[in-house]
């Protein structure tokens, strides 16, 4: 069987997370030091470590079959490549930032200003949409320093935690777009390799569902069961088991990670006791 060729970032913030999700999907990659190509030992997958900005072209040319890249790169390069999966990591946003002393009140304050960025296409589309006429200065790196040295009045750059902006006396004032890691497919993928991709997606979805869910066990008086059932529908329905203590039951279910604390508080309000929460390794529906 032929190998599915996947491109991942050679270095940078996406590299480690890309390899981690493949590892959690049960794929063991034999990667020696400084290798630019590696094979999985237990899955028909070949990994190519490439420069991030080059990956979309490799996909369009059919050199690689799939890739894990940031969605913002597709937008910036204006590539119409199909996204097979949203992977939920490396979440960030492309934002406008100005110095704290800049008297910014609304987007119109950028009219006639100089904006430094490494994402000129995304910025231009944003400005056009807002009806703003500004002068874009393209900078490859260290965009944050531009206002401080008088090169620009504002910057547009990738923001995750915001720490870099804070350290450079900048504040975020507008969001241009949001981004996360995505699995992208080449338009030239063969039917045989598409079957391998289907198996890979099956594994990735099991990992992603587990990452986004928590397994919860709790004890509840029987007269409260219906109330709890409404809070905890689970995948299909919660598992209910009688306890030795008369009039009590144990409920097992799955809750979404994003609303975890809200659900836990609601469970406590309805009389839940002995709440135990566990991570889920894999989740297959």
Mean pLDDT check: name the lowest of 9-13, 145-149, 156-160.
9-13
On average, the pLDDT of the chain sits at 92
Residues 167, 119, 115: CA angle, nearest 5 degrees: 65
Beta pairing class for 114-117 and 135-138: parallel
Quick one: pLDDT at residue 65? Answer: 97
The percent of the chain in helix, strand and coil, each rounded to the nearest 5, is: 35, 35, 35
Q: For 91-122, how does the pLDDT look when each residue is reduced to its tens digit (9 = 90+)?
A: 999 999 999 999 999 999 999 999 999 999 99
How far, in Å, CA of 61 to CA of 50, rounded? 14
Q: In the predicted model, what is the mean pLDDT of residues 241-258?
A: 91
Average pLDDT for residues 193-209, to the nearest whole number? 96
Phi, psi of 255 (to 5 degrees): -125, 150
Same CATH fold, 213-279 and 4-89+181-210?
no
Residue 236: pLDDT band (50, 70, 90) is low
CATH code that applies to domain 213-279: 3.30.70.120
Residue 90 has what pLDDT? 92
Q: Look at domain 4-89+181-210 and name its CATH class.
A: alpha beta
Mean pLDDT score, 245-255: 91
pLDDT at 161: 84
Number of CB atoms found within 10 A of residue 168's CB: 17
CA distance linking residue 253 with residue 183, whole number of Å: 30
- Separation CA 89–CA 150 (nearest Å): 35
- Alpha helices (runs of H) in 65-190, residue ranges in sequence order: 71-77, 120-130, 163-167
Provide the edge-to-edge strand list for the sheet that holds 45-50: 29-30, 37-40, 45-50, 4-9, 66-70, 181-185, 83-86
pLDDT at site 58 = 96
Q: What is the mean pLDDT of residues 156-183?
A: 93
| Assigned CATH class of 92-179 | alpha beta
| Domain coordinates in residue numbering, the chain | 4-89+181-210, 92-179, 213-279
Q: Where do runs of H (alpha helix) occur along the chain?
A: 13-24, 55-61, 71-77, 120-130, 163-167, 191-211, 225-231, 260-269
Residue 11: band (very low, low, confident or very high) from pLDDT cuts 50, 70, 90: confident
**What is the mean pLDDT of the segment spanning 126-143?**
93
Say what percent of the chain tops pLDDT 70: 97
Provide φ and ψ at 217, rounded to 5°: -125, 140
């Amino acid at each position: 069987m032929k190998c599915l060729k996947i491109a991942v970032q050679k270095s940078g913030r996406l590299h480690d997370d890309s390899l981690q999700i493949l590892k959690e999907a049960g794929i063991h990659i034999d990667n020696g030091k400084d290798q630019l190509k590696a094979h999985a030992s237990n899955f028909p997958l070949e990994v190519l470590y490439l420069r991030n900005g080059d990956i979309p072209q490799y996909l369009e040319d059919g050199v690689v079959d799939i890739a894990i890249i940031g969605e913002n790169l597709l937008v910036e390069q204006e590539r119409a490549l199909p996204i097979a999966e949203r992977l939920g990591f490396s979440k960030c946003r492309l934002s406008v930032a100005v110095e704290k002393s800049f008297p910014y009140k609304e987007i119109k304050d950028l009219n006639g200003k100089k904006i430094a960025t490494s994402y000129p296409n995304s910025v231009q589309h944003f400005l056009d949409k807002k009806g703003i006429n500004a002068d874009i200065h393209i900078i490859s790196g260290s965009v944050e320093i531009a206002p401080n040295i008088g090169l620009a009045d504002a910057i547009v750059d990738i923001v995750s935690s915001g720490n870099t902006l804070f350290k450079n006396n900048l504040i975020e004032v507008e969001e241009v777009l949001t981004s996360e890691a995505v699995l992208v497919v080449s338009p030239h993928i063969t039917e045989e390799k598409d079957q391998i991709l289907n198996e890979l997606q099956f594994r990735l979805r099991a990992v992603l569902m587990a990452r986004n869910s928590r397994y919860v066990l709790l004890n509840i008086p029987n007269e409260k069961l219906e109330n709890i059932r409404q809070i905890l529908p689970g995948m299909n329905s919660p598992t209910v088991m009688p306890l030795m203590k008369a009039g009590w039951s144990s409920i097992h279910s799955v809750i979404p990670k994003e609303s975890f604390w809200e659900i836990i508080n609601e469970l406590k309000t309805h009389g839940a006791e002995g709440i135990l929460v566990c991570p889920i390794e894999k989740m297959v529906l």
